[in-house]
Structure 1
């Protein structure tokens, strides 16, 4: 069994024991260890190795051990827990980061991520030329964490404790402390228009002296946001005071709010950020109208949707129409940034005596779990006023003629009876 498999088994055993501990104490915070497989990334000068210049990246599998992580129990039977003990014959370097300040965000979720089979990504790399500072990015689908850690030099070494021009050659334990941690939940959000949206960005640690700012990137351009109380884009009153909350609230979302949001936090020599995606998904409003002319035309209109792409199809009595060529209008943009599109279908009038034809317009869009369907019936042809007058006149003539013949027969019978 390889180092990575052993790590995964050890991790799951640690998590199981931690779960038993948390189950033993209802609402009591306890310190545990979290073990994650991680990737150590170093940037190198490609020209220094006979290359053509530029930079290259070296990557090595390592272990990230986060110690003193606070989790909260939910009640249950007591079971002892021991700290994670690295194997003596391990071939993998261990980066041991100790949390010394406030609790690590999403600790309970992170604790069980690997054993639950969640897709987790972990990368750490030097943040400073001295090699004393490291930055670690941990990502799961529902949250993201960025940690700045400081290595603890040994043997009086003040700089380059592990080397910056090569991968780790001597497998060992690199001790670090967590200086600060920036986190966000739901890094990618989908939202319809007009709703309020919160973009989460929280700092773990002492928020004193912290400066936070938000930037929006879209369509190749970037701008800094200036949240103000009473506007659509705001931060909580007293943001970053006490609990380090720099979350951004956008009220009544518009199409123009879609983009990549960057929460940048500066604390002394540290500057870290979180990237959040906001995407607008507004479903179309679908209607059908009938227009009379030389030929009957059905128009299926899809309005007020976002993003751009939308697909139409026509059905006749539930069957796909393949013999006709619908005419589609060009995309038109509404004043609020949404789109509208129409598709026109010429249809024959059902013959006299037949049942009405039923047509269905089906619209598919990224905002819809299932297509929208709208149905209309094409009625039988109406009898024209001229034809109706001719029929009425004919009926009057027939009735009059029949009455005359009947009256004449009655007179004849009366005469014969008088004789």
Structure 2
């Protein structure tokens, strides 16, 4: 009986542990509704056209979140996804993904760099059975998986992901001249692989980069395209991101990341949009108009992509603050057609002819306002109309001249400090005298010559005067009288 009690307690503890473990585990992903195409496509290719039937992809058994509302599925796929390539699309909160299923026959691909994977150009023996390509995606995530079928029952198919190519950037927006990373990764069992990046635009396509893991070499590489090859992490996912160092408008278009394995291949699609902001020049820079004459403004807009651009004219009167449309101040305006440059950017010119200038137009500000998709806010370039001979300088001009003069004065005092100071007065001091022995007055010498001389004019001798006080003069007079 004691043994039975111990078994009962152990069973209760185990049941509580299972309940706690089930409560702590995350809920399984929600099913994904798909459109199953009846036609058989190429191995690993994107789904094509044909008749479709509603299908459902389930992950993790029956205890799942209910799928999005939709038609009753005719076929249900129980998917085994060991790398979790498709499960992020079913984890809430989520955007209902688009999904298409297409039956396929696995192939190694026809590219010359993928032939070494199978010299006999045949699928391996393990590629028997049913195969499908599942293409699912949202604006933030996209994946293409190669599914290998297992056991089938009526209306239910068991399948496993054998290769998945995914991206976190299915839609990109980049600026011309700034590096862009086109993310791509694949999940598969360890095996040799070949990677191919292809660019398609305006009906033409080219291979930008090809990489062979067996030789660790790139048999095809285009200048400006770099491969950021990541190591295989613990989840079995390998990054094969493409980096465009200096993209231009010509790099806009569709990018296809294809991965070839010995048992098949899969690919995912990315869309890249390139933007180039415009440069705006308004001429003339100084708008000085003679009274009664008209002037023409030209707004040159260049270097922008795509070609959708809007150019408008605005006028702000001298005594009004808000800008408004030019209205009656413009006689005529026109805009040129788009001109395409060698780098793929566009340019165009807008012009406005003003009405004859009058005194009330003096000081009006005319602006060229450019709006483009590559700009966060419109570009505004302005010029002030000045009527020749109307009035003197404005208060702003006088203030500016005063500041310039003040700065120049300070600069001169700093560079030439001696020149900026007044000369110091020189002090004349007489030599020191001894009060006991005062100086004798100097008597000019007399002419003692015996021979009289002719009359000559002698300069008048001025007695030297020294600055002394009255006491010194008195003592000197007493000294002479005693002698």
Query: Normalising to structure 1: TM-score of the pair?
Result: 0.66
- Render the CA deviation track for 1:253-306: whole Å, top value 9, x for unaligned: 222222211111111242211111111111112232227786311111212111
> Which residue number corresponds to residue 411 of structure 1?
none
Q: Distance in 2 between matches of 1:321 and 1:353?
A: 15
Give 2:307's aligned residue.
308
For residue 227 of structure 2, what is the aligned residue in structure 1? 235
1:331 aligned partner = 338
Q: Does 1:319 align with 2:324?
A: yes
Verify the 8 A CA contact 2:361 2:385 in the aligned structure 1.
Answer: no
Displacement of 1:24: 4.7
Maintained 8 Å contact 2:89/2:97 = no
**Which residues of 2 match residues 112-191 of structure 1 at below 5 A?**
112-113=92-93, 116=94, 118-128=95-105, 132-154=130-152, 172-191=155-174
Aligned partners of 1:41 and 1:123 also within 8 Å: yes
Q: Secondary structure at the match of 2:35?
A: strand
Contact 1:263–1:274 (Cα < 8 Å) also in 2: yes
Separation of aligned partners in 1, 2:21 and 2:241: 32
Alignment-derived partner of residue 421 in structure 2: none
Deviation, 1:371, is: 2.6
Q: 1:303 to 1:85 in 2, by over 3 A?
A: closer
Structure with higher Rg: it is 2
2:78 corresponds to 1:96: yes
Residue correspondences, number: 316
Q: Secondary structure at the match of 1:246?
A: strand
Instruction: Give the deviation of 1:110 after TM superposition.
Output: 3.8
- Whether contact under 8 Å (1:349, 1:378) holds in the other structure is no
Partner of 1:40: 36
Question: Which range is displaced more, 322-331 or 120-129?
Answer: 322-331
Q: In 2 relative to 1, CA 344–200 (structure 1 residues): closer, same or farther, beyond 3 Å? A: same
Once the two structures are TM-superposed, the CA of residue 181 in structure 1 deviates from its matched residue by 0.8
- TM-superposed deviation, 1:252: 2.0
Deviation readout 1:37-94 (Å, 9 max, x if unpaired): 22222139xxxxxxxxxx97222222111239xxxxxxxxxxxxx843999xx86431
Pairing partner for 1:250 from 241, 244, 262: 244
- Within 5 A, what are the aligned runs for 1:218-367? 218-226=201-209, 231-237=223-229, 243-290=237-284, 295-317=294-316, 318-322=323-327, 324-352=331-359, 355-367=362-374
How many angstroms does 1:120 deviate by?
Answer: 1.5
* Residue of structure 2 in register with 1:374 after alignment: 381
In 2 relative to 1, CA 365–106 (structure 1 residues): closer, same or farther, beyond 3 Å?
farther
Gaps of 5+ in 2: 1-19, 41-47, 107-127, 211-217, 317-322, 392-483
1:216-250 per-residue CA deviation (whole Å, 9 max, x = no partner) reads: 11121111113668952111257779742221111
Partner-residue secondary structure (3-state), 1:195? coil
Counterpart in the other structure of 2:64: 84
Contact 2:165 2:186 in 1 (8 A): yes
SS for the counterpart of 1:57 is coil
Question: SS at 1:104's partner residue?
Answer: coil
* Larger strand percent: 1
1:189/1:380 Cα in 2 relative to 1: closer, same or farther (>3 Å)? same
Aligned to 2:443: none
2:229–2:240: 8 Å Cα contact kept in structure 1?
A: no
Give distance in 1, aligned partners of 2:303 and 2:21. Answer: 53
User: What is the match of residue 191 of structure 2?
Assistant: 208
The 5-angstrom pairing of residues 394-413 of structure 1 reads: none
Quick one: structure 1 residues 134 and 246, their matched pair in 2 at CA, closer, same or farther if it must change by over 3 Å?
Answer: same
- Residues of 2 paired with 1:197 and 1:236: CA distance? 12
Q: Is the CA contact (8 Å cut-off) linking 1:286 and 1:302 kept in structure 2? A: yes
Question: Are the aligned partners of 1:239 and 1:246 in contact in 2 as well (CA < 8 Å)?
Answer: no
Change (3 A) 1:146 1:247: same
Confirm or deny that 1:57 pairs with 2:55.
no
Does the CA-based 8 Å contact 1:200-1:246 persist in structure 2?
A: yes
TM-score, length-scaled by structure 2: 0.58
Q: CA shift at 1:345, angstroms?
A: 0.8
**Cα distance between partner residues in 1 of 2:350 and 2:66:** 66
